[in-house]
Each structure stands twice: as structure tokens, then as C-alpha cells.
Chains A and B, each alone.
Chain A
Amino acid sequence: MSTTVYVPCDTSARSVGADRVAAAITAEAARRGVAITIVRNGSRGMAWLEPLVEVATLAGRVAYGPVRAGDVASLFDSDFLRGGSHPLALGLTDRIPYLARQERLTFARVGITDPLNLDDYRAHGGLAGLRAALGMAPTEIVASVTDSGLRGRGGAAFPAGIKWRTVLDCAAPLKYVVCNADEGDSGTFSDRMLMEGDPYCLIEGMVIAGLAVGATQGYIYLRSEYPHACTTLNLAIVQARAAGLLGANVLGSGRAFELELRLGAGAYICGEETALLESLEGRRGVVRAKPPLPAHAGLFGQPTVVNNVVTLASVPLILARGAAHYRDYGMGRSRGTLAFQLAGNLRRPGLVEKAFGVTLRELLYDYGGGSASGRPLRAVQVGGPLGAYLPEQHFDTPLDYESFAAIGAMVGHGGIVAFDDSVDMAAMARYAMEFCALESCGKCTPCRIGSTRGVEVIDRIVAGTERSRNLALLDELCDTMRHGSLCAMGGMTPEPVLSALTHFPQDFGITPPAGARKLT
């Protein structure tokens, strides 16, 4: 009997040697005359254990990691094919606390199934949402998404159902569903993990969106920095079409939906939805003024749903299990779960899908295990490069959209980047300005020029040149950027800059005024 061995094909696993491990296992099995089947699954999201090898045993899947090619012979010696003990053995995968304590809804299949195997997808609940949707009127589908409380996971957290309703209500011969897979925020990788680990789930979500709003053409706009996701998605689209999940007659329903993958070209601003549409139309990724909203006049001037990967991939489950099932998770107006991404200086980085309401401290310490370096954590950036830097005093804030907004921060796409006490926060503030200067689409002067000036002003502050005058200048500059920018690129770059300055003034060479709250 052949034993199934799982070795992830996820970018992160491959980046630390999963392909070499898979090859070594194949070779060693052949050498020993043992029958095995290797499945290249997605990642379970426990990145520090990658490459994480799993073996299907009678008791369940047993994990070993992090495995190097050089460990393979000893794994065979320890009878790992029957879950034998070994220094790298982690026990049953599902019992590993990091995983066991998560609420995996959107990422339920990621790491478990063979990403490109449609039978596997169906066997694990795939297509149930689409089948349900095919029996519903468009307004019912939209109502279900609205009732679930699902908000956009790309950053702005706009209610998905309301956006869909707007597109549904537009009478137009042609409508589009566009998936924003630009995932430009540093510290984030949930879109990538979903696309590489469960691509049919995204496709299913897009087809449902098409049925809901009356769109027959979809595009996935994927960043060019994701070569493996690109390959997986293209294969998944071809196979979905062959299986009748895409095309003129979706699952025999007589309804049509076509899907095409398009690649970005290295511009962060193309994650902003209107710049993305410009780019899809073949132009420079310059942000459009709103109105019109993309929902009214989006791609090629037609009504368009633009949603993030995780937003769309959450839809199949909502249709399959009902809006209430999803809505029952979460707190306040943040319903359901978010796939948090733990990155930076943490001992156990990875993906943690939890209901909204978990605190930063739980994520950083209970899951993340504190810093990788063993030094104290000093600052955390949440929500990508435009998110504020938070010191320890904010670590008990629950992660939901409103609580974060209340402390001047944002949850965004759920990326959490931790820094230990060796970080130079003035350098991070400077980098935020530099990044804005580099990635500005150029449309607004405060963003384009202000950010370049910002770098110079921070340099002068740090050098001690006319410090108080330059501090005032930085304040003024940030104010102009906040109020004079068309989009969040220029409008929110002041967040990381000013939060770094407020919470960590000593890094800028400034002594906190006497009587001020102790900052370290």
C-alpha cells in the first residue's frame, strides 16, 4: 500500500527547500523500495516549521518539520511513514496548538488538499457554495453576502454586499468582476497562500460574484512578484474551464462566466482599485478621481466589482453554510474571521486565521512566540506600509476595524510586522517617506513632492539640523499630504511617520519632554 506524504508547494516552503525535500523523499523511497505518493499541498501556515512534511497515518496526518533534504534518510530510518518518533516529529498536525486554536473558515482547505485537484476540492466542501448560488436569485445571493457582514479584506473594509448591490442595480450590457490580487502590502501573504493553496476557492468566489451582479467576465490582477501563484492560477483556470466550472455554461446552469489572469508589473499603486483598472486597460497605473465609483463605471467604463482575494474566497463558505454561520464569528461591526499574517521579527511567523477580537498581544506572543532574536519587541506595524507603528502600550487592543481606527491605526489586510529593540524608528519613518516617493503615481503634488521633501526633513531632524524648525516642517508636510492627496498612498504615509515620531522620539534624537508619558 502506498503511503501519502505531503510536501508543500507554497512559495514560503519552497523558499526554504521544500522542492529539495520532496526530491530527496522520492529518491530515498525508491532506494528503499517503499511505495509512497507525494502530494504537493499548500502551506498550513506555520512558516517557521517549513518545510513541513506530513504523513497520512491511520491516526491522522502526522507532521515533521522543519525538514531539510539531509534529514530525509533519518526520517525513513525512524519509520516516519508510520508516524515514527524523530527529533523533528511534531505529532498530529491538527493538534499543534498554533493550528488547533485557529478558526479556519476561509483557509479551511489550505494546506490540507492538493491545490489543483478538483476531486479533492469537491471532497472537502468545494463547489457547495456555487451550487447553492445557482439555485438563488441574484438579490438573494447579494442579501446573503450582506447579512454575513463580510467587509473588504483588501484594506478599506467596505461591506462587500453593498458593493455587489450597487453593481447588481446598474443596468449595463457588460459587467465585470475584478479580483485584486496585487497584495502589495509588505508583511502580507494571505492572498498568495490562498491562491497557491486553494485556487479553486477564489475561482468559485468569483463565479458566485458574477452570478450575483450579472457579470460574465472576470479578471484576476496578480502582482508579478508572485511567479508560483501565477503558474498555479493559470493551471487552475484551465482545469476549471475543462470541468465546466468556467465558460459558457457554468456547471450546466446555462449561465456564463469567463476568467482571465493578468499580471501587474511592479507598481505598488496598482493595488489601489482605480489604478488597477487603469492598468488592466493597458495604461499607466494612475489613480482615478471618484466619482464615478468602479461599481458604476469601472473597467472599460462598465459596472465592476473589485474585491480582494480573501474577500472573494470567503464567499463560497458563506453561500454554503449560510450568512449566520460566518457572522457568528467576530466582534462589533467586524464579522467573521481575518487571516492575520505574522511577520518580521517573530519566533513563530505564519498565518493565523482568527475571529476578529483577538488582541495583538495574543498574536505576537501566544502565536508568534515573541521575537525571533530573543530581544524585547519594541514596535509593531499593522496593516501594511501605510499602517501606524504601535508601541507595547497598544498591544492589548482587540483587532477589529473600529478598535484599531480608535487608536489611529488600521487592521487593513491583516499584516503584522514585529520589530525588536534594535530597530531604528527614525530609519523606518524615513523608509515610509522613501517608499511613498518611489511608489507615488504622480497625480498629486503633496504625495509626489511631499514625500521626497519628507525624506530630506527627517534626515535633517536626525542630523540635528535646526531640529525644531524641521519638526514643525514635518508636521506641516504630513498635514498637507493627509489633506491634499487623492488616495491613501499620500494620505496615509504620515501614519507610520508620525506614529514613529510620537512613540519613539528618542530615535530621532529628541528627548521626550519632562512629564511626558514614559515611552520605553
Chain B
Amino acid sequence: MTALSAEQTHAVAQILESHAHAPGALLPVLHAVQARLGWIPPSTVPLIATALNLSRAEVHGVLSFYPHFRTAPAGRHVLQICRAESCQAMGGAVLEARARARLGVDWHQTSADGAVTLEPVYCLGNCACSPALRLDDEIVGRVDAARLDELLDTLQGNEVSA
């Protein structure tokens, strides 16, 4: 288990302090930890469990149930491509294949340069501008191969300035 840095431990403690008393606090806590650390390191689990009066197994159970929560660090960017029906009707499968090929990864994997983690997503509510994808917190619509290439070029090329 990777140990948390002092700063990370402090951040987690702060989150627990401010959320622990809310009813049903586990999801808000996990969201806050992930927002702060980028993922949910295994070493935070006992801290969270103790603060919320849960067993570690309960925390693990919740972590493993929800696809949004990461139990391993992601790349510097997360690229989610919509695989749901409306985007399929507009050629989304072509984008999936292209992103996988260009990044040299399959779903849930991170490109070798550490720039991009590729994930499937099942509807972004942007179906009227299909096909759609999400890049970190930005939603992009009417994506064609050229637009995808452009996005990937920026992510993989301008890492330092980004």
C-alpha cells in the first residue's frame, strides 16, 4: 500500500472532518477525496472507514460498485467516449476505434506517455450533438475523426504547456 504524503493525509482528514456528520456521507466523501487526490488510494480506505463508522469491506464494496471512483491513478487527462445508442447512430463506433488505435490502449487503460486514460461512458446527455465525448470536465459534441485527432494532438503534444 502506497503511503499518503503528509499533505494528502491532511487533505483527507479535512474532508472527513467536514463531511463525516452528514447522513449517508460515504459518496460525498469519496467524491471529495477523488476531486482532491485524483483517485482514491487504498491507504485512505481505513481512514474513511473509521471516520464514518463503517467496515473497510463496506467502503471497498462501494468503491468497487461505482465506475466513477478510481482505485488507481489516471493519466493526466481522462477521455470518455460515449458508447450509447444516439452516439452509435451517428458513427460513435468509429471514434472509439480511432481513439483506441491512436492511444494504443483499450478501455480503462492509460497511454504509454501517461497523457490520456480512455474510458467508455454511457450517455453524456449531449445526444442532440452526437457523437459526444468528455475530456476531463469538458463535453465535446459533433465529434468527427478530425476533431478527435485535433483533441488528441493537443493532449499528447502540448503536455508541458497544458
For residue A389, give the distance in angstroms from its CB to the closest CB of chain B.
10
**CB <8 Å contact, A50 and B129:** yes
Number of interface residues of B (CB under 8 A): 43
- Cα separation A227 to B54 with both chains bound (whole Å): 29
Report B125-161 CB contacts with A as 1/0, cut-off 8 Å.
1111110101001111110000000000000000000
For residue B23, give the distance in angstroms from its CB to the closest CB of chain A.
6
Within 8 A of A (CB), among B16-66: 23-28, 30-31, 52, 54, 58, 61-62, 65-66
Residues of B within 8 A of A15 (CB): 126, 129, 132, 139-142
Of B23, B84, B89, B125, the residue contacting A385 (CB under 8 A) is B84
| Interface flag for B111 (CB, 8 Å) | no
**CB <8 Å contact, B25 and A282:** yes
| Interface flag for A334 (CB, 8 Å) | no
CB-CB nearest in chain A for B89:
A344
Residues of B within 8 A of A349 (CB): 127-130
**CB <8 Å contact, A227 and B137:** yes
Of B66, B86, B142, the residue contacting A343 (CB under 8 A) is B86
Within 8 A of B (CB), among A399-433: 415, 417-420, 423, 428, 431
**CB <8 Å contact, A351 and B85:** no
Q: Interface residues of A: mostly helix, strand, loop or mixed? A: mixed
**CB <8 Å contact, B24 and A183:** no
Residues of A within 8 A of B141 (CB): 12, 15-16
**CB <8 Å contact, B27 and A187:** no
**CB <8 Å contact, A285 and B66:** yes
Count of A-B contacts with CB under 8 A? 151
| Interface flag for A272 (CB, 8 Å) | no
Residues of A within 8 A of B122 (CB): 184, 186, 268, 435, 438-439
CB contact under 8 A between A415 and B127, given known A267-B67, A284-B62: yes
**CB <8 Å contact, A16 and B85:** no
Residues of B within 8 A of A345 (CB): 89-90
| Interface flag for A300 (CB, 8 Å) | yes
For residue A42, give the distance in angstroms from its CB to the closest CB of chain B.
14
**CB <8 Å contact, B61 and A225:** no
**CB <8 Å contact, A192 and B90:** no
- Cα separation A279 to B66 with both chains bound (whole Å): 10
Report B84-117 CB contacts with A as 1/0, cut-off 8 Å.
1111111000000000000000000000000000
Of A189, A226, A282, A417, the residue contacting B89 (CB under 8 A) is A417
**CB <8 Å contact, B86 and A282:** no
CB-CB nearest in chain B for A415:
B127
Residues of B within 8 A of A372 (CB): 90
CB contact under 8 A between A184 and B123, given known A16-B141, A350-B128: yes
Residues of A within 8 A of B24 (CB): 262, 280-282, 300
Chain A contact patch, size range: 35 or more
**CB <8 Å contact, B129 and A16:** yes
For residue A187, give the distance in angstroms from its CB to the closest CB of chain B.
5
| Interface flag for B124 (CB, 8 Å) | yes
| Interface flag for A342 (CB, 8 Å) | yes
CB-CB nearest in chain B for A14:
B139
Of B86, B134, B138, the residue contacting A187 (CB under 8 A) is B86
Within 8 A of B (CB), among A93-107: none
**CB <8 Å contact, B66 and A265:** yes
**CB <8 Å contact, A12 and B129:** yes
| Interface flag for A307 (CB, 8 Å) | no
Residues of A within 8 A of B28 (CB): 262-263
Within 8 A of B (CB), among A177-204: 183-189, 191-192
For residue A303, give the distance in angstroms from its CB to the closest CB of chain B.
16
CB-CB nearest in chain B for A230:
B137
CB-CB nearest in chain B for A261:
B28
- Cα separation A393 to B61 with both chains bound (whole Å): 47
Within 8 A of B (CB), among A1-30: 11-12, 14-16
**CB <8 Å contact, A192 and B127:** no
| Interface flag for A283 (CB, 8 Å) | yes
CB-CB nearest in chain A for B59:
A282
CB-CB nearest in chain A for B61:
A284
| Interface flag for A228 (CB, 8 Å) | yes
Residues of B within 8 A of A228 (CB): 139
- Cα separation A233 to B113 with both chains bound (whole Å): 37
Residues of B within 8 A of A262 (CB): 24, 27-28
| Interface flag for A381 (CB, 8 Å) | yes
- Cα separation A226 to B65 with both chains bound (whole Å): 19
**CB <8 Å contact, B128 and A189:** yes
| Interface flag for B74 (CB, 8 Å) | no
**CB <8 Å contact, B130 and A344:** yes
Residues of A within 8 A of B61 (CB): 283-284
For residue A239, give the distance in angstroms from its CB to the closest CB of chain B.
21
**CB <8 Å contact, A225 and B127:** no
11 A-B Cβ contacts within 8 A? A11-B124, A12-B126, A187-B127, A263-B28, A265-B27, A279-B27, A282-B24, A282-B26, A284-B65, A284-B66, A381-B85
Q: Which A residues are within 8 Å of any B CB, using their own CB?
A: 11-12, 14-16, 47-48, 50, 183-189, 191-192, 224-228, 262-268, 279-285, 300, 341-345, 349-351, 372, 381, 385, 415, 417-420, 423, 428, 431, 435, 438-439
Q: Which B residues are within 8 Å of any A CB, using their own CB?
A: 23-28, 30-31, 52, 54, 58, 61-62, 65-69, 84-90, 121-130, 132, 134, 137-142
Q: A15-B129, A264-B68, A343-B127 are in contact. List 11 more A-B contacts (CB 8 A).
A: A187-B86, A189-B126, A227-B137, A228-B139, A263-B27, A264-B66, A265-B68, A265-B69, A280-B24, A345-B89, A385-B85
